Structure 1
């Protein structure tokens, strides 16, 4: 079976298992802080994906949120970047608004991206160079928009008295309004479908953006860090995703004046 078709079927199968496991007891643990949750379902979904990939493609590498491949030294060959549940807080508190996110890379270059909104049974997917889809419907290229006429996705916690707040607050003030969905993967595909003009976060792990980034780029969107550099799947980074016009505006008018401040901020999250 073609790798793209295999990956697509695997993500859908993982979603079926996830819906089943949700009906059973959910064990909740904390990771880096009391709001950074992981459940037995996160771990089970990742393990299912890893086991299936390794059985079918034993030579492939895997980077997974819950512990797989965090110390890779090379991106030669095929690398899968997996978030079994992006939006675990939503999963725990709402039972909705979370996604399985998978990015597949060949020698470090994008090959295919998948973001599965599990409870809505909506799969966003793209093969690099061949367009992006919502289920089986081809997504149109996203139009350019102005910041003042656009919704911007941003977690309000970043606006609550943090060091980065003075950089981010003017963007929200000058936009039409802001929204927070609690799942980076879903927010990136909301940009890809034009529901958001941009999504901005000072810190994001590669498994959060790998799948959505490939989908976004297939509809003409742009993804970089706060200093305009491409995102890499080997380390966390700051993230701006948007249509071309709004991305350019945010980078040049709001980020560039703070270049000296943002450089060490950016470097800190590569470590």
Structure 2
């Protein structure tokens, strides 16, 4: 994808995101038709589905040769990352959306032949758009984000992670994670992976860990972080795979390896 193509797709996608956000705000107080998917806490609403369909329809109409991975089933089933792929989460933080009416985001990552080209995380209620194009840096609205602090120490770090790390032995021994929490400066959780990753890119949080995330949860945020020097991988330190659900670690490069060593200790 050349610079001209990237700019055109970026501008088009940005306009669609703002339009989708306005539609969510307009209709969010109407009956949401809440349903559970894989478990009682894995929720979906009418607006999740309508927002994804809105975006998918426009991608199909404008870029029929592009592929789509979407949370709510309107995309494609892909076995490789060839070509241009849009990875979409129409409402990341659906539980927040339902219960709190805030702290949720539209997340879009656009890859070309496996390379992250364009990333968006849109905080719908605060009207804050985090956005990035490959090689041009990442932005919060019109403000360019600084490169991440390479002098950061793990003991000074604020890390986004939910409580499941401290009571679930399926991925990493929870006693090791308790030690990890005692080592870092503080742990936080806000209930939206996309926004957590935007905050890592902004430098107001130093890492984000999740036991299991799908590509649509993190694609936009990973592209943002790439542009400010952040690193993304799984619990074993392998690079992020945009076609798989897996544990996720996105962090300031100064502390990424230390976090991976903690996780590996708990996986022995």
Matched, 1:149 2:169: no
- Cα deviation, residue 162, structure 1: 3.8
Residue pair 2:177, 2:266 contacting (<8 A) in 1 also: no
Q: Look up the SS of the partner of 1:214 in the other structure.
A: helix
Partner of 2:248: 239
Q: 5+ unaligned residues in a row in structure 1: which ranges?
A: 262-271
Partners of 2:67 and 2:76 within 8 A in 1: no
Q: Distance in 1 between matches of 2:249 and 2:104?
A: 20
Aligned equivalents of 1:8, 1:166: Cα separation in 2? 43
What's the CA shift for 1:256? 3.2
Contact 2:80 2:243 in 1 (8 A): no
Name the SS of the counterpart of 1:126 in structure 2. Answer: strand
TM-score for both structures, normalised by structure 1:
0.92
**1:45 pairs with 2:51:** yes
Find the counterpart in structure 1 of residue 136 from structure 2: 130
| Alignment match, 2:226 | 217
Separation of aligned partners in 1, 2:124 and 2:199: 15
Please report how far the alpha carbon of residue 258 of structure 1 lies from its aligned counterpart in structure 2 after TM superposition: 4.0
Residue 222 of structure 2: SS of its match in structure 1? helix
Offset of 1:70 from its aligned partner? 5.3
| RMSD between aligned residues | 1.4
Give the corresponding residue for 1:266.
none
Match of 1:158 among 141, 146, 165: 165
In the alignment, which of 227, 250, 256 is matched to residue 264 of structure 2? 256
1:193 to 202, 207, 224: 202
Q: Measure, in 1, the Cα distance between the counterparts of 2:32 and 2:263.
A: 41
1:267 corresponding residue in structure 2: none
Query: Within 2, Cα distance between the matches of 1:197 and 1:258?
Result: 21
Deviation per residue, 1:76-122 (Å, 9 max, x gap): 22110000000000000000000000000111211100000000000
Partner Cα separation in structure 2 for residue 137 and residue 186 of structure 1: 17
Mapped partners of 1:70, 1:33: distance in 2: 23
Quote how far apart the aligned CAs of 1:151 are: 1.0
Equivalent residue number for residue 172 of structure 1? 181
Aligned residue pairs, count: 259
Query: What's the offset of the Cα at 1:15?
Result: 0.7
**2: CA distance, partners of 1:258 / 1:93:** 34
Equivalent residue number for residue 207 of structure 1: 216
Q: CA deviation at 1:203?
A: 0.8
Inter-CA distance 17–74: structure 2 relative to 1 (3 Å threshold): same
Distance 2:116 2:204 in 1: 24
What is the alpha-carbon distance in structure 1 between the residues aligned to residue 79 and residue 233 of structure 2? 22
Residue 19 of structure 2 corresponds to which residue in structure 1?
13
Residue 161 of structure 1 deviates from its aligned partner by 4.7
Segment of structure 1 superposing worse, 157-166 or 98-107: 157-166
Q: What is the CA–CA distance in structure 2 between the aligned matches of 1:255 and 1:49, rounded to whole Å?
A: 37
> Is 1:85 matched with 2:125?
no
